[in-house]
Amino acid sequence: MLLVLDLFGAHKTEEVLDTFSANDIVVSMIPGGCNSLVQSRDVSINQPFKDILRVSRLTFR
């Protein structure tokens, strides 16, 4: 199985990478700044949702 991940620090710990390896999971890391090219959902859905939450949090008092 191939698992494509961004370079978030938790994805690169020895423990996590060993777990992937032990379960026959091949990991491919996406270089910084390339998420929008390979993780379109992150840009089209997640980011607008995060923006709405951020504004709501800042305006809620």
When pLDDT is averaged across residues 24-44 and rounded to a whole number, the result is: 82
When pLDDT is averaged across residues 16-25 and rounded to a whole number, the result is: 95
Say how far apart CA 34 and CA 45 lie, in whole Å. Answer: 16
DSSP bridge pairs for 31: none
Domain ranges of the chain: 1-30, 34-61
Q: What is the pLDDT of residue 27?
A: 93
Percentage above 90 pLDDT, the chain: 38
pLDDT above 90 (res 15): yes
Q: How far is the first Cα of the chain from the last one, in angstroms, to the nearest whole number?
A: 46
Q: Cα-Cα-Cα-Cα dihedral of 38, 43, 44, 48, to 10°?
A: 170
What is the amino acid identity at position 16? Answer: V
Mean pLDDT of the chain: 87
Say how far apart CA 27 and CA 7 lie, in whole Å. Answer: 11
Q: What is the pLDDT of residue 23?
A: 96
State pTM to two decimals: 0.55
Determine how many CB atoms are found less than 10 A away from the CB of residue 29. 14
